[in-house]
Amino acid sequence: MNVFRLAGDMMHLLSIVVLLLKITGIKSCRGISLKTQELYLLVFITRYLDIFTNFVSLYNTVMKLVFLGTSSAIVYYMRYDRIIKLTYDKEQDTFKYLLLVAPSAVLALATSHVYTVLEVLWTFSIYLEAVAIMPQLVLLQRTQNIDNLTGNYVFLLGSYRGLYILNWIYRFFTEKHYRQWLVWTCGVVQTIIYCDFFYYYFLSWQNNEKLALPA
Amino acid sequence: APAAALKDEL
């Protein structure tokens, strides 16, 4: 495992920690899209179905369990916690699941390497992860006074994707049989989706102002 | 169809 991959995973983990701190610490999920969180849970479930059949390393297995556990916890808090659910911006979080899930499913069925349930669902998870952040970005545009934790959460998630691209470039040049066009294309698309957010994040940081995304 | 991907990443 190279340093980019490890740093990427740590950013991903940190983004989840920041989100959980926000939700449980200040008992608020204001500005957080439940739709994005549920899509991530679906991504993890469909991707990690091989958790007990395809052992790679203890690190991978533990991380998969952590991602499954924490994303379930986040969805649970936002949906069912007596206090936290009251802070969810349901009326603003209007992105349609089907708009993201249906194309991902069609593409997975059309491009899967082999047609086994596990492989098609894995391919589906790659497509879905690429676009799962969209409800969150739309909700951010609609949120006035985005708090620091929410801005940092999205920033850390975007950093994780950027670092994975550096990891792929590194592996491309150091490993002979590392050719993953599907994963790469989706990864690049996913990172491009963050570009607009990054622009305004750095702008607000540079000017020492609160983050605001123009509608 | 694309080549089988290495599933050693998260």
Determine, for residues B7 and A56 on separate chains, whether the beta-carbon distance falls below 8 Å: yes
Q: Do B9 and A164 touch (CB under 8 A)?
A: yes
Nearest-10 Cα torsion for A44, A50, A56, A58:
70
Cβ count within 10 A of residue A115:
9
* Beta-carbon-side half-sphere exposure of residue A55 (alpha carbons within 13 Å): 3
Q: Cβ distance A60 to B10 under 8 Å?
A: yes
User: pLDDT tens across A83-136, in order?
Assistant: 999 999 999 999 999 999 999 999 999 999 899 999 999 999 999 999 999 999
What pLDDT band is residue A4 in, cutting at 50, 70 and 90? Answer: very high
Q: Is residue A211 part of a domain?
A: no
User: Mean per-residue pLDDT for A4-11?
Assistant: 98
Q: Is the pLDDT of residue B2 over 60?
A: no
Task: Report how many helices (DSSP H) and strands (DSSP E) chain A contains, helices first.
Answer: 8, 0
In a domain, residue A118? The reply is: yes
Residue A210 forms part of a structural domain: no
Tell me what the pLDDT averaged over chain A comes to.
95
Sign of CA dihedral A158, A138, A184, B5: positive
Work out the minimum CA distance from B6 to partner chain A, whole angstroms.
8
Q: Which residues of A touch B1 (CB under 8 A)?
A: 111-114
* pLDDT recorded at residue B1: 46
Q: Please check whether residue A214 lies inside any domain of the structure.
A: no
Domain that holds residue A162: 3-205
Shortest CA distance from A184: residue in chain B: B5
Task: Please report, rounded to a whole number, the percentage of residues in chain B having pLDDT higher than 90.
Answer: 30
* Residue among B5, B7, B9 minimizing CB distance to A5: B9
Question: ipTM of the predicted structure?
Answer: 0.83
CB–CB of A178 and B8 under 8 A? no
Q: Angle formed by the axes of helices A134-142 and A181-206, to 10°?
A: 20
Q: Which of the residue ranges A37-41, A174-178, A185-189 has the most confident prediction, judged by mean pLDDT?
A: A37-41
> What is the tens place of the pLDDT at every residue in A62-97?
999 999 999 999 999 999 999 999 999 999 999 999
Q: Is residue A189 part of a domain?
A: yes
Tally the domains of chain A: 1
Tell me if B1 and A113 make a contact (CB, 8 A cut-off): yes
Q: Is residue A212 part of a domain?
A: no
Q: Does the beta-carbon distance from A114 to B1 stay under 8 Å? A: yes
Beta strands in A11-55 (DSSP E): none
Size of chain A in residues: 215
Judge whether A215 lies within some domain: no
Residue A110 maps to a domain: yes
Instruction: Collect all residues of chain A within an 8 Å Cβ-Cβ radius of residue B8.
Output: 56-57, 60
Choose among A189, A171, A30, A4: nearest CA to A104.
A189
Taking the mean position of all CA atoms in its chain, how far away is CA A200? Answer: 19
Q: Is residue A188 over pLDDT 50? A: yes
